[in-house]
Amino acid sequence: MSAGTTGEGAGAVAEGTGREGAGPVPQRLLAAATRLFAERGYDRTSVQEIVEAAGVTKGALYHYFGSKEDLLQEVYARVLRLQQERLDAFAGADAPVERRLRDAAADVVVTTIENLDDASIFFRSMHHLSPEKNRQVRAERRQYHERFRSLVEEGQKAGVFSAQTPADLVVDYHFGSVHHLSTWYRPDGPLSPQEVADHLAGLLLRALRP
């Protein structure tokens, strides 16, 4: 994010209300950007449309975000930060590795479904990011995957999980399903987010049985 200003800081817009409701300006901008990117696509959404939907000015946007590209990056980064924090908590819990992996595998499904617009927007639009920002996001996502993989490896070394399949492939297997959620999951469908999570986590654990 950019800390620069164009003459209009947070105080100039903090009390305004736009179509995205009241609240802190960065959150309103992100809410507006997420909705518009989902409805129209990143490349067909202008900065002017975002600030109008958020009820702020362009100066307010550039106070918090350096560009529309920064908004796109943050749409996904905030979800990834949440998932990383939760994964770290599951991985560090005082519980058998099978339980920790199941909880982590289910949680990434639930948090992805709860933020499905954010995830689908990003995967559709990440090619719009500069090479530097793209590398940064990929590095953050790789960190998450490596932490998840460490649970698989821990269980394999302990003999709790089968080591027949390399841990990297096990992780790709699960996250392939997670990344595919935006193509088929519907809130009004027959399965709740937790039910989908339990099914996919169960599949993963069954695939790892010795």
Measured distance CA(8)–CA(13) in Å, rounded: 8
pLDDT tens, position by position, 47-82 = 999 999 999 999 999 999 999 999 999 988 888 999
Residue 32: count other Cβ atoms within 10 Å of its Cβ.
25
Distance of alpha carbon 147 from the chain centroid: 16
pLDDT of residue 18: 45
Three-state secondary structure along 49-118? HHHHHHCCCHHHHHHHCCCHHHHHHHHHHHHHHHHHHHHHHHHCCCCCHHHHHHHHHHHHHHHHHHCHHH
pLDDT of residue 20: 60
Lowest-pLDDT choice from 5-19, 89-103, 157-171: 5-19
Confidence of residue 21 (pLDDT cuts 50, 70, 90): low
Measured distance CA(100)–CA(97) in Å, rounded: 5
pLDDT tens, position by position, 146-176 = 999 999 999 999 999 999 999 999 999 999 9
**Contacts with 128 (C-beta within 8 Å, 6 or more apart), sequence order:** 42, 43, 69, 72
Query: pTM of the entire structure?
Result: 0.82
